[in-house]
Structure 1
């Protein structure tokens, strides 16, 4: 089947992108299913123009693979994804990311269809009756937005460090996680105390640990801008003086990027699983001398690009939640789970993996916890607008070795004046978060104020 042609304005813009950025337009413009009975839906439409339109409007593509009955035309949903688009103003790059996910979803759908007794075991889905229409105006507006951003970005890079993460905390009379289903935008904007940071590095991914004597330890990612490689740092909180240590101390450093220092205890010892996707591993460290000395205990998985690995023990089974990159995609938008009898044993993949394929809900944002009603809550990142834009609290309603289900309880946006919020942890009466802000590099009034 012949590939559909770009409209004239989009043809012009793709030539511009290829010339400016060396982008290749070598990917097929439409994902052709391997089986005649499988159909790809783009935002509910069967034609690829719907995907082009979504990308040109900088929206999140919703891709579904359905089985279509040759007799009745009814459709059954086999696989779907809300695809993370990291750079929304690059059409060809976004299209390639989307079509790579289409290929992955087709394989996923075929496996599920082969394993099922009948296509009718899958839920019904309805396609839109009319094909999507793409106007030249949509393409032209996208081009203007891209060029305008390109012009503005140059002076902004000199003035502002974008994506600068800082840590904040607050004390509460009761654990804040007990209010996970509250309408929390006002709640999240109040009473936060920002921890001192440094303009030369950002701090993110805070995890709290409470010792047996009641003292608190905060572990987090530090990323110096001159190396662009994260390390794990630590500061302590003294309940007697109600003060944090002023200077963080690096406690774990490797020649690859580290972040997200998830902590857990087993048989009286403390362990850490930092994110080590830059090394294509999931690594577990043991505290040789808590909190400052850590030694490699085990490599849990190799040759895998996994982000924000988080363990949960339900009293019988150990569960591992992690976001794994597949076929060149992003690790923002899919969540897989594994189970084991021991955190040091072999991990078995869940048959429904990935259990979530949605950039608004997938990537982990902190420890799982139970609220006052006994519900198991999973904090998740909402990366639809951009990476770490907001938080979503999901109630896990079903978690077995063969089934998984969850539902949204609440969404929390960053406090006013901040651009992102992507980690939330609470221990005892302290809650910690990280917030994305813009760090001013140069202040034209600073010199004048000093001379006054």
Structure 2
């Protein structure tokens, strides 16, 4: 059971709930003899567990063909890459195992109005194999043929997705969801996402395939509710699948892979000897989220025992307090510390929260007369809120939510009479990752007794913008969300300022109005968090190793 099913199981039935529409009747087109990949099994499990869908048939291509085929060198490199860096445990699709006998399998070349396929009355087909589908099939589909971009970068067992990105040093890899209909047979993108590039193309591809299930299922749910195809994205926002790599690209990729593997090996040695510690520093200045200038900020430098990240400011009784993730060189976990920013500079006070697990992102806020903290506790597999007993050092547990789920960098805010919880959940099989999906919930406030999932969850997909980078701000009737820009293979490479343009239970839209890169001061390799209180702001930045 995933998090949404768990929440729905606890939810009370709504008295004004609309009658359930007929489920979307879905077919999946696959090459004959093709082994189910983990991402496909994950997708099938999602379809079988959701009443909005009915997986009716597998449409098998008895003579699969490929419009493009990589050369021998590219195939050899891709196979070696995959065997070394993309291995993962097999996904156990229990629902599929039980329901498999009820899903029919029909060859794609069986055409005609009297065929079994015609009587299936499919609404759409998910294409999992490259190549054109018969017109007799596409003409009968109300919502056309849907394809993920990685389908078009695979020839048999060889997939070259990401080879060009790694070879060229691209900041991100792109995923697109395409649709083709009888009326508009050309491929049109209806959704897209960007992901941080991995050190290996095979690992990059396996990661993106797993995350592509989030994008596809979200858009299928939207279709099931609206019964309308989404509007196509603007051409400028669409990246088409890459063609097979030639000799030059393959050679450049092999060299880049060798370099990346060597760097990772050296980093592992340094980490084992506690010599590879990410060192962050803080910068503070005067300004707000819509006008701050980090080049004019003053540094609050780290020490060997106090490396500071994820800073949050809190103004209380005339004093400005700074809460932050604190750790020392060689430490494997962090605690929450607090200090005060005075006219003389920064003065540490002590430990606010500690424990056996890693703690970070100490989001501090006030509600009524009480002060609360919601730190990141993903190692405890839940969201926790703590209440101040004796501010700023003594706190007690107050509430918790999403028990059993891995959540990171959560923030709570009140907007137009409604409390919202934004959090980065990791729904995963082989790749635990908190940077790829942002989830929104309506809640009843800090008590967290009532959580209602947003209808478009995850509302943001892709590591370029999904992960929270601080609290939500309301400024001049505009709503802003700091978000991490994870790119160039670096966690926390940059910081986005996202403006939330629309937020209700039916829809969510945001746009990036500013991006801060680690070039505002010398010697930086990343920046990923922002906060402000009154006229003062603070952000963190990663120092070059």
Structures share fold, TM-score greater than 0.5 = yes
CA–CA distance in structure 1, aligned partners of residues 369 and 241 of structure 2:
62
Q: 344, 349, 352: which one pairs with 1:242?
A: 344
Q: Which has the larger radius of gyration?
A: 2
CA–CA distance in structure 2, aligned partners of residues 152 and 107 of structure 1:
36
DSSP 3-state at the match of 1:177: coil
Question: Displacement, 1:146?
Answer: 2.6
1:64–1:102 CA distance, 2 compared to 1 (3 A) = same
1:434–1:189 CA distance, 2 compared to 1 (3 A) = same
Question: Displacement, 1:410?
Answer: 1.2
1:141–1:248 CA distance, 2 compared to 1 (3 A) = farther
Q: Do the aligned residues in 1 keep the contact of 2:326 with 2:335 (CA within 8 Å)? A: yes
CA–CA distance in structure 2, aligned partners of residues 128 and 179 of structure 1:
32
After superposition, residues 172-191 of structure 1 pair within 5 angstroms as 172=286, 175-179=287-291, 187-190=293-296
Q: Do the aligned residues in 1 keep the contact of 2:381 with 2:406 (CA within 8 Å)? A: yes
After superposition, residues 57-136 of structure 1 pair within 5 angstroms as 57=167, 58-59=169-170, 60-75=172-187, 77-85=189-197, 88-119=198-229, 121-123=230-232, 132-136=243-247
Q: Do the aligned residues in 1 keep the contact of 2:422 with 2:440 (CA within 8 Å)? A: yes
Q: 5, 18, 24: which one pairs with 2:87?
A: 24
Q: Do the aligned residues in 2 keep the contact of 1:167 with 1:432 (CA within 8 Å)? A: yes
Q: Do the aligned residues in 1 keep the contact of 2:127 with 2:145 (CA within 8 Å)? A: no
Which region of structure 1 is more displaced relative to structure 2, 143-152 or 378-387? Answer: 143-152
TM-score (norm 1): 0.82
Q: Do the aligned residues in 2 keep the contact of 1:340 with 1:346 (CA within 8 Å)? A: yes
Structure 1 equivalent of residue 423 of structure 2: 322
1:131–1:387 CA distance, 2 compared to 1 (3 A) = closer
CA–CA distance in structure 1, aligned partners of residues 381 and 174 of structure 2:
28
Q: Which deviations, in whole Å up to 9, do the C-alpha atoms of 1:157-187 show, x marking residues without a partner?
A: 76974631112222x2xx332416xxxxxx3
Structure 1 equivalent of residue 284 of structure 2: 169
Q: Which deviations, in whole Å up to 9, do the C-alpha atoms of 1:44-67 show, x marking residues without a partner?
A: x94446624444435322222233
Q: Do the aligned residues in 2 keep the contact of 1:231 with 1:254 (CA within 8 Å)? A: yes
Q: 300, 304, 308: which one pairs with 1:203?
A: 308
Instruction: Say whether 1:263 aligns with 2:367.
Output: no
Instruction: Say whether 1:426 aligns with 2:535.
Output: no
CA–CA distance in structure 1, aligned partners of residues 241 and 428 of structure 2:
32
DSSP 3-state at the match of 2:424: strand
1:235–1:41 CA distance, 2 compared to 1 (3 A) = same
Question: Displacement, 1:129?
Answer: 8.8
1:18–1:333 CA distance, 2 compared to 1 (3 A) = closer
Which region of structure 1 is more displaced relative to structure 2, 156-165 or 389-398? Answer: 156-165
CA–CA distance in structure 1, aligned partners of residues 526 and 544 of structure 2:
10
Instruction: Say whether 1:146 aligns with 2:257.
Output: yes
Q: Which deviations, in whole Å up to 9, do the C-alpha atoms of 1:410-443 show, x marking residues without a partner?
A: 111123321111111111232111110135xxxx
Instruction: Say whether 1:194 aligns with 2:299.
Output: yes
Structure 2 equivalent of residue 42 of structure 1: 149
Structure 2 equivalent of residue 444 of structure 1: none
Instruction: Say whether 1:13 aligns with 2:84.
Output: no
Instruction: Say whether 1:298 aligns with 2:399.
Output: yes
Gaps of 5+ in 1: 181-186, 440-452
CA–CA distance in structure 2, aligned partners of residues 137 and 125 of structure 1:
31
After superposition, residues 396-435 of structure 1 pair within 5 angstroms as 396-414=500-518, 415-435=521-541
DSSP 3-state at the match of 1:144: helix
Q: Do the aligned residues in 2 keep the contact of 1:364 with 1:381 (CA within 8 Å)? A: yes
Gaps of 5+ in 2: 1-30, 35-65, 92-125, 130-136, 139-143
Structure 2 equivalent of residue 445 of structure 1: none
Q: Do the aligned residues in 2 keep the contact of 1:78 with 1:112 (CA within 8 Å)? A: no
Q: 424, 432, 438: which one pairs with 2:544?
A: 438
Q: What number of residue pairs does the alignment pair up?
A: 418
Q: Do the aligned residues in 1 keep the contact of 2:333 with 2:359 (CA within 8 Å)? A: yes
Q: Which deviations, in whole Å up to 9, do the C-alpha atoms of 1:227-282 show, x marking residues without a partner?
A: 411211111123xx53321x452221122111101111112110011011111111
Q: 443, 448, 451: which one pairs with 1:340?
A: 443
Question: Displacement, 1:89?
Answer: 1.9
Question: Displacement, 1:147?
Answer: 2.0
Question: Displacement, 1:68?
Answer: 1.6
| Greater relative contact order structure (CA < 8 Å, 6+ sep) | 1
